[in-house]
Structure 1
């Protein structure tokens, strides 16, 4: 199966694979210790409460993905994807260097902001170039994104292991410094490899090669588009002055950010649909992108509990002793990338095999399966939390099986979704809509942080109900997509 997965792919895919691997090493490594650093009261951390730390964590991870929207716009209209990736990587590295300097809260938050800005530039555009390598689309592009996704998770695995260990057992800031080294290696790989194997890709901003027809139609509707933007600004001002958005606490700031993300996403989709100069077929495809956006937001809200509620559960309610050694709690997050590395080649080969026999499940069916598997994984955590409320430490097998189910669900959703957005998005908006895809991750991360903030440190009795909530909502939405998969597939206009 692995041979079938890797054959006949261009060298450029593997350049992007390793560049993304090192970028994700830096991101996931730092993310693995971020919440622990924020709530640490003993070893030089920020000494926040679990609720406040989880809210800050959610705001940061949400900002990382929210900024992919302006990052995609800059690539589509000014820089092109290659320059956006290069400059974004440099900014990320600088951000991690700032985090490695012990200098108090102001310097720390400056470093977080810098990393978020750089990731917003890099993240959507490297995925867009992967799509450009496969203009024919189809199962081969899906397989390529599965290979690319293995690079993401290989970087994640080593980042969590190395940065997590250094941060928890040596020094928080040494862990942040290791993340900077990872990004430097990613920049070197991209600079050397892109010159030889990515010529002609991502160099000219797509907006500059739009068709005359699309430009004319877009111009006619530009006034309406600007009206939508103005309405969004007014809406946000009203929310602020009426007290709906409360910026006085970390939790309030996170809740306000959620309202802003939803408003921005809805406004942007409306702008593209109404003022984007789309054909009827393109409009229906964008409607499918909206459905996938809602699904991925809900999926990440559950999946990203790995860095929040599941991290807290691993730290406080899981037996981590192995032969007298206390395993770092952050290492439990490594089950996700490890399972991706094991199962991604299997599922990618399965999609190709089924496609060759006209049996490949449609995109909405794969999304439904991913959400249902995520829901089942949290039913496992409901059982684990019922043991934890009795005061006992739970077996690590509960978290292991939870991560197994939600990782297989992830492989049905995330690489398929990445590929789908490159297929369904109108060419001149591909990086911007790829940014919207990551805004879905932004919303999911924010919800994950708010959910973990609901963990009352003095009331473990609430855990089963909280995990049950995630399980029921994820499963129900997955079943809803499964019921309506045929009309959704029809809106895709022949793309599979």
Structure 2
């Protein structure tokens, strides 16, 4: 790995910055026009109703997050993080290529599945390698993640701007094609410079086969997996799972997701050999996990219900595509993230920096406040 630094950081950070920027360009760009394409009845879209389109959008976004679990496992146990990023990027690009050409609904959904699978492989592992670049931890690593996060939001801003314009003003499939090109640029940079600037970071799987693992722990893991399988069979036989409409599929997949997550946490808590201190930390993580679920459920509405509202009830100056409203989020993050970071530093120096759980709660409160403001703004269109 090259020891040369740029702005006081390993050059590998800026390679990962570029790869993540183009990946987020493709993800947020495509997401900006996905629901609009699903609902469009006049310009080559699928012509679905709001319930069907929202169900597909929800299934896609939930799949992206859920697939991070197997994506991380595959990296740790089979591929290594570097190969997982590469394979994930290839799957994302292939998925966008599929979306770039008019085809049947089945083919379109296959393209969405490829993007979701690829994101599950790439997203958790690229962040992990950023952490590995800073084994000493501390403020320098925090600064590195701030830089990396700027790349995420730059990619988001560019993707929504370019893909949103192409999709809404020229043609939906041009927008999807632009997302494929963005991921290709990220893959080219990764292929050319990863070995030089990352060395052996993330090159090999972290986990090794432990022949001394206790049999009871292994047995409990299989008991949990078997219980999950039996639960899913019962739900199917009882008719709880329904597959006769897109909304029913979304509801069934929601139950499936909760079951998988609960099994995952139970396995970590009881079958991973954690001591009491680690179990307490895992319990806190479990609480934060569900808080994060609520946050992201609200956050992802910017490509769903908020996008529909922007498209139908907002005044659009200069022929601006309605998808550009989604750009306010990355723009505000780019502008205010340094300000918020400065506030925490200011409070830290005075011994007033609130703990993580308080910050987490503030984030959820601000999300709720934002939706309350939206209710006030929507009242002229939906009078009581």
TM-score, scaled relative to structure 2 = 0.94
Aligned residues: 379
2:90 matches 1:90: yes
1:139 to partner: Cα distance: 4.3
1:378 match: 371
1:414 match: none
Per-residue CA shift, 1:433-465, capped at 9, x if unaligned? Answer: xxxxxxxxxxxxxxxxxxxxxxxxxxxx6xxxx
Per-residue CA shift, 1:198-227, capped at 9, x if unaligned? Answer: 11211121112x8x6xx7455431101110
2:267 matches 1:274: no
The 1:116–1:304 alpha-carbon spacing in structure 2 relative to 1, beyond 3 Å, is same
1:255 match: 251
1:30 to partner: Cα distance: 0.5
Per-residue CA shift, 1:25-77, capped at 9, x if unaligned? Answer: 00110100000000000001000001110101111111122111111111010
Q: 2:287 aligns with which of 283, 287, 291?
A: 291
Q: Distance in 1 between matches of 2:381 and 2:120?
A: 38
Q: Distance in 2 between matches of 1:354 and 1:141?
A: 20
The 1:339–1:227 alpha-carbon spacing in structure 2 relative to 1, beyond 3 Å, is same
Q: Distance in 2 between matches of 1:139 and 1:244?
A: 50
1:150 match: 150
- The 5-angstrom pairing of residues 272-351 of structure 1 reads 272-320=268-316, 322=317, 325-351=318-344
1:113 to partner: Cα distance: 1.1
TM-score, scaled relative to structure 1 = 0.73
Residue 388 of structure 1 aligns to a residue in which SS? coil
Q: Distance in 2 between matches of 1:377 and 1:54?
A: 21
Residue 26 of structure 1 aligns to a residue in which SS? helix
Q: Distance in 2 between matches of 1:219 and 1:149?
A: 42
Q: Distance in 2 between matches of 1:100 and 1:239?
A: 37
1:133 to partner: Cα distance: 2.2
1:368 to partner: Cα distance: 0.8
1:201 match: 201
Residue 266 of structure 1 aligns to a residue in which SS? helix
Q: Distance in 2 between matches of 1:135 and 1:218?
A: 30
1:21 match: 21
Unaligned runs of 5+ in 1: 1-5, 391-460, 462-496
Unaligned runs of 5+ in 2: 1-5
Residue 261 of structure 2 aligns to a residue in which SS? helix
Q: Distance in 2 between matches of 1:9 and 1:346?
A: 22
Q: Distance in 1 between matches of 2:346 and 2:259?
A: 41
Instruction: Pick 1 or 2: higher relative contact order, CA cutoff 8 A, min separation 6.
Output: 1
Q: Distance in 1 between matches of 2:89 and 2:127?
A: 14
Per-residue CA shift, 1:101-156, capped at 9, x if unaligned? Answer: 11221221111111111111111111111222233444443333222121111101
Per-residue CA shift, 1:338-386, capped at 9, x if unaligned? Answer: 1111122333344455545554332212111100111110110110121
The 1:8–1:353 alpha-carbon spacing in structure 2 relative to 1, beyond 3 Å, is farther
Q: Distance in 2 between matches of 1:147 and 1:243?
A: 49
1:292 to partner: Cα distance: 1.5
Residue 380 of structure 2 aligns to a residue in which SS? helix
The 1:107–1:85 alpha-carbon spacing in structure 2 relative to 1, beyond 3 Å, is same
Give the CA RMSD over aligned residues: 1.8
1:239 to partner: Cα distance: 1.1
1:62 match: 62
CA contact (8 A) 1:146 1:348 kept: no
- The 5-angstrom pairing of residues 156-171 of structure 1 reads 156-171=156-171
The range that moved more, 26-35 or 103-112, is 103-112
2:358 matches 1:365: yes
